Amino acid sequence: MLRPPKKFVPTPFGYHQEIELKIDALTNLGQGLGRMDGWVVFVPFCLPGETVKARVYRNDKNCSHADLVEVLERAPERADPACPLFGTCGGCQYQHLTYEAQLAWKTRQVGELMQHMAGVTFPVNPCHGSPKLWNYRSKITPHFAPPHEGQIREIGFLAVGRRSQLVDVPQCPIAMDTINAALPELREDIRRQAKSYKRGATLLVRATGDHIETNPKAVVTETVGDIAFDFLAGDFFQNNPYILPEFTGHVAEKARAGGTKYLVDAYCGSGLFALTLAEHFEQVAGVEVSETAAEWAQRNAEKNGITNAKFLAASAEAIFSVIDFPANETAVVIDPPRKGCTREFLDQLAAFAPARVVYVSCDPATQVRDLAIMQEHGFKLEDVQPFDLFPHTRHLECVMTFVR
C-alpha cells in the first residue's frame, strides 16, 4: 500500500481510498462535484448525472479531492476524447463532453457565479460557440525541464493536478495545423541542443500567416475582419482568430447602442477593440499600461488608415483625467487582465459616468466580483453574453454590458 504524503489529513477518507459517488455538477474549473454523506468530493473528467468510482488523494477542511478510476454509469452527454493524452495532460478539461453540452455548462456556470458571488439573478444568453472546434489555437507554449543525464525529456504541458510534472505532447489537436506540422522539428532541435540548456524553458510557438514564429521579439500579423494587427510574437493577442470577427462585432453592437458617439478602450493592448470598433464612433481613445503595446496600437491605426483613434501609455486609472469626451455620449470598453479591475479604476469609471460600459473578461469570477461594485456605483446590468474562444477547455470569455 502506498504511503500517504506527510501532510495528508486521514479524515474523512483514507489515502487512496476508493469511493463511489454520484456527480451533481461541474465547477468553473471543469471538475465534477459529488457528495458522499453530504461531504463534497471533487473528481475531474466526470459529468453531471454520472456515477463514478474515485480514488481520494487529499482531504481539505471542507472537501476532498480524488482521481477518476472508472465511470460506472455514463451520462448521455459523454463523448470520446479526440486526444490520446486527455486526462493526463492538463491543457483540456472538456473533451469528454459533447460540444453542445460544453456550451450549455459554460452558460450555466456564468449564471451560477453571478448568483453565488454577487447575489444577482440575471438571464445569461447561450454561450456563443466557436466556428472551429479543433486546430483553432494560434499560439501554444510548451515547457521542458532542465536536462537529465544530458537529455531533455518531456516537452509539453503540466499534468492534470500537478504543479511541476510535465506530460510530453508531440501533437496538440486544439493547436493550428501549421503548429502541429512544425512541432516535430522544433522538439528535435531542442533535444539536439540539450547541452545548451542549464535550466528548463518555455517555447513560444505562434502561427502567423503561413509560417511559425518562435522568437518572442519578432513582429507578427493577425487579421480581424478588414483590420491587420502587427504586434510582438510574445505579446498577448487573442489566440482563436476564427471567432474574433463575431466576438468584436458583439462588443461593437453593445458599445454603440443608444447612439453613443465616443469610445474609450481602457485596456487596449495592441488595439483589438479600439480599432475594430473605430468605424462606429466619431472618436476613440485607448489606454494601455505597456508602452510597447500602446505604440503598436498607434502603428496599427496608421497602418489601417484609421485617423479617429489615439492611444495613451498609462495605467487604465489615468485615462479619465485626460478624456474630454462628453460622458453621456461615451461608451467604455474594459478588457482587463485575469485579476480584473482595481477598485480605484472602478471608482474613477463611476466618477466619469459613461452612458455605457462593455466589460470583457477572460475570468468570469473576477468579472462577477466587479459586477457587484459596478452595481454599487449605479450601473445597471443590461446583457450577459459568454463566448467560447477555447473549445474543450474550461476557459471562456464573457461580455457584460452596463448602462447608467
344 in a known ligand binding site: no
Q: Which three cell numbers stand for residue 48?
A: 453531471
Strand partners, 33: 25, 42
**Integer distance in angstroms from the first to the last C-alpha of the chain?**
62
Strand partners, 206: 139, 213
The verdict on whether 92 is a catalytic residue reads: no
**Cα–Cα distances in angstroms (integers) from residue 396 to residues 33, 79, 106, 108, 386, in the given order:** 20, 20, 7, 12, 7
335 in a known ligand binding site: yes
> How far does Cα 52 stand from its chain's mean position?
29
> How far does Cα 245 stand from its chain's mean position?
17
What angle (nearest 5°) sits at the alpha carbon of residue 170, between those of residues 164 and 176?
A: 105
The closest of 6, 104, 88, 113 to 47, measured between CA atoms, is 104
**Catalytic annotation, pick one of 89, 341, 362, 398:** 362
Q: Which three cell numbers stand for residue 388?
A: 467560447
| Integer-rounded Cα radius of gyration of the chain | 23
122: left (phi over 0), alpha (psi -120 to 50) or beta: beta
Q: How far apart are CA 291 and CA 296, in angstroms?
A: 9
Residues flagged as binding site for S-adenosyl-L-methionine: 238, 267, 288, 335
Q: Which residues are catalytic?
A: 362
